[in-house]
Amino acid sequence: MEKYSALGLLKHSLSNHENWPRLWHNPTPKKKYDIIIVGGGGHGLATAYYLAKNHGITNVAVLEKGWLGGGNTARNTTIVRSNYLWDESARLYEHALKLWEGLSQDLNYNVMFSQRGVYHLCHTLQDIRDNERLVSANRLNGIDNEMIDAEQLQREIPLLDCSRNTRFPVLGASVQRRAGNARHDAVAWGYARAAAALGVDLIQQCEVVDMVIENGAITGVKTRQHGVIKADRVGCVAAGNSGVLAKMAGFELPVESHPLQALVSEPIKPVLDTVVMSNHVHGYMSQSDKGDLVIGAGIDSWVGYGQRGSYSIIEHTIQAIVEMFPAVSRVRMNRQWGGIVDTCPDACPIITATPVRNLFFNCGWGTGGFKATPGSGHVFAETLALGKAAPLAEPFSMFRFHSGALIDEHGAAAVAH
């Protein structure tokens, strides 16, 4: 892998950029792999990378039915944070956040991870109580988080209306200052390049249409384009389509796929240097390096695979944004789009062995998958390498929905991401 650097850029500019190597190739799939990862989004590519790097398993294929990083990796609002309430999830997301902190250097690819802080607004006394609880739990878990009052919040975010004139005045906020944003596409590309360099086969335009299961164990997958490809173990990381894959393997998941919409404004000069989210008025916003205001909308209540949702959701979101940031009323919304999120009843992911031996699933990240990308990949790689749940993944088994050991993060996840 050619190392990227400013000097390299200068060198290549002298030859008119004609000699840049490919980030990845388009290999013909082998007949058999040690491990097949179904889904070439951020999580799948990260899984492949850590399998190769940390576990020395390089006979790995990532099968992607479309283009790398083309699912929710390409459609989210890029927020990264780890301030989750329960120990199990806090540890998982903090593990991810720590990996984010050195990711650009690790991948030699600038994923533009920017720790500009994430604020959770409190509009009611119960919001304050919930956030105090969260902050206390985070601190004792070694995760930074702090409460600030409305006056300090107003000083830190001039654009936010912290007056008493709003329908639900802001009473305060919790803020995780190590949280922030990253460049979503770059994460997929960076992992893809690094994984490919370690020998992983990235196979695009390769759709899995069936699972090959013999005596209760998976032995391979059937693909639309390349027939059966065999594997010792298979890991499915296909947000938005997990239910479809599970059906192929003959079981159901406690997961429903819903449209989740997002939108951006036209690019404007910097007005907001952080991420602000409000569960109560249902909106959150940040500003990208390009100048777009990046806004997350709510989730539609029905199952939908169409990558689009209802306009009323967009309306409510914009109302919330204008309510919170009245000065942006005259700014214009440029684009909206939708992703498909796999939601779990407890707003926590599933990283799990399944009723089928050697078949593992990593899904159900709901609205919050992007932030977990490195952690999810890291933990799932370990799970696939071990053939059983990695320690951090243990609480996230699909079988928790039988025993009742749920990890209810609705409070911390809510609209939030």
Which residues in 36-65 contact other proteins (CB under 8 A)? none
Of 40, 42, 48, 45, which Cα lies nearest the Cα of 113?
Answer: 42
Residues with Cβ < 8 Å from 107, sequence gap 6 or more? 49, 190, 191, 193, 194
Whether 244 and 206 have beta carbons less than 8 Å apart is answered as: no
Q: What angle do CA 95, 235, 375 make, to 5 degrees?
A: 10
Supply the minimum distance, in Å, between the C-beta of residue 414 and other proteins. 13
Of 96, 137, 146, which Cα lies nearest the Cα of 119?
Answer: 146
- Which of 88, 130, 201, 232: binder of other proteins (CB under 8 A)? 130
The answer to whether residue 24 forms part of the interface with other proteins (CB under 8 A) is yes
The answer to whether residue 248 forms part of the interface with other proteins (CB under 8 A) is no
Residue 167, judged by CB atoms within 10 A of its CB (0-12, 13-18, 19+), counts as: exposed
The answer to whether residue 183 forms part of the interface with other proteins (CB under 8 A) is yes
Of residues 29 and 66, the one with the C-beta less far from other proteins: 66
Q: Which stretch binds other proteins (CB under 8 A): 29-37, 209-217, 230-238, 405-413?
A: 405-413
Residue 23, judged by CB atoms within 10 A of its CB (0-12, 13-18, 19+), counts as: middle
* Residue bearing tokens 């399944």: 354
Length of the chain: 417
Q: Which two tokens stand for residue 183?
A: 């460049």
C-alpha count within 13 angstroms, C-beta hemisphere, residue 212:
14
The footprint of other proteins on residues 147-166 (CB under 8 A) is: 147, 158-159, 165-166
- Which of 108, 152, 207, 222: binder of other proteins (CB under 8 A)? 108
What x/- string results for residues 316 through 355 when contact with other proteins is judged by CB under 8 A?
--xxxxxx--xxxxxxxxxxxx-------x----------
Encoded amino acid at 307, one letter: Q
The footprint of other proteins on residues 206-235 (CB under 8 A) is: none
- Which of 28, 125, 214, 215: binder of other proteins (CB under 8 A)? 125
Supply the minimum distance, in Å, between the C-beta of residue 193 and other proteins. 8
Count of residues in contact with other proteins, rule CB under 8 A? 133
Supply the minimum distance, in Å, between the C-beta of residue 331 and other proteins. 5
The answer to whether residue 110 forms part of the interface with other proteins (CB under 8 A) is yes
* Residue bearing tokens 């399998």: 51
Q: Which stretch binds other proteins (CB under 8 A): 11-19, 32-40, 211-219, 371-379?
A: 11-19
User: Strands 350-353 and 32-38, how do they pair?
Assistant: unpaired
- Which of 29, 58, 70, 222: binder of other proteins (CB under 8 A)? 70
Q: Which stretch binds other proteins (CB under 8 A): 37-45, 206-214, 282-290, 383-391?
A: 282-290
